[in-house]
Amino acid sequence: MNLPFAGEPPALSGVLKSTPEDFVVDEILPYGPDGRGEHDWLIVEKRGVNTAWLAGQLARFAGVREVAVGYAGSKDRQGVTRQAFTVQLPGRKLDWSGLHIDGVRLLDVQRHSRKIQRGSNDGNRFAIVLREIEGDVDSAQEQLSMLALRGAPNYFTEQRFGIDGANLARARALFAGRRLDRNQRSFALSAARSAIFNAVLAARVVDGTWDQIVPGELAMLDKSRAWFKTDIDDVALADRCARGEIHPTGPLWGDKPVPLGEKLAQLEDESSRELDDLKRGLEKERLDTARRALRVLACDLKWSFDAGALHLSFALPAGAYATALIRQVCRAEL
């Protein structure tokens, strides 16, 4: 994806996900199992397995419909990921010891009173190793320090768009009248919104305002989906933004306009004009208009270099991509 960088281009090149153990993800949920109710709460570790596919396998093993299986969000297939699932089993106790799926290990089972809902996770913690590192390590150290301080543009990365942009192609096919199944439709609509968002964010990166509150901005509270229109005369907002309490936002396109300032509305319109067909399609689908933070801040970012490898650990809020952070310092070959 040819998206502009914030600051200098990445100082390093390397290889990402050379083994599953080089990309480890732990889900962060705001709550845990409460020990009662009609749902089994499973902690599952998976390697090379798609989250939605695994949910279907859990439903099959339990003899329930897929709708009875809950999880907070999809995790990377290529890596080692640990996340929670719930399976609704009213009046039943199930022996999960018979579950045998290649690449899947059941770590814990407890009882819980309700289904895990999509989007309910707070974020994810990552432990990542980039191998075959080449480039200027001193410059990379400076870029990593800047990432820890300033964050990174909150781009949607390749995972959202599918292999060779297949999800975006499906979106255009959907808007042209093709019928898609539920999962394909969801991925297609998400890809369309993501492409528009990336175009706007790229323009804000180029003009240097991706991490600033500008006149007419719609700001978002940190670690929240709540957004609000800012007062252009409120100097305190700039300080709150600098401290990471609020962030500027970009569009997740939907069927209703938002109250942007005139200049910012013009920027968003012009930067995404080549995607007007996607805008019209999303409006016809009557998706709710939403906003997304233009900036993502990594929590507790740590790094070290060892024998030609870069080791990274950090946490990101829900919906943010680790690869959006990595691309700022390393051109990573997958």
SS3 102: coil
Place of tokens 């990166």: 205
Q: Which residues contact 15 (CB under 8 A, 6 or more apart)?
A: 130, 131, 132, 332, 333, 334
Q: Is 40 tagged catalytic?
A: no
No. of helices (H) and no. of strands (E), the chain: 9, 16
Cα–Cα distance between 125 and 107 in angstroms, integer? Answer: 18
Q: Which residue has the tokens 């993502």?
A: 296
Neighbours of 267 (CB within 10 A): 19
User: Is residue 30 within 8 Å of 317, Cβ to Cβ?
Assistant: no
The tally of CA atoms less than 13 A away on the side-chain side of residue 208 is: 2
Under DSSP, the state recorded for 233 is T
In the set 76, 108, 211, 222, the catalytic residue is 76
**Could you tell me whether strands 246-252 and 218-221 are parallel, antiparallel, or unpaired per DSSP bridges?**
antiparallel
Catalytic residues, which ones?
Answer: 76
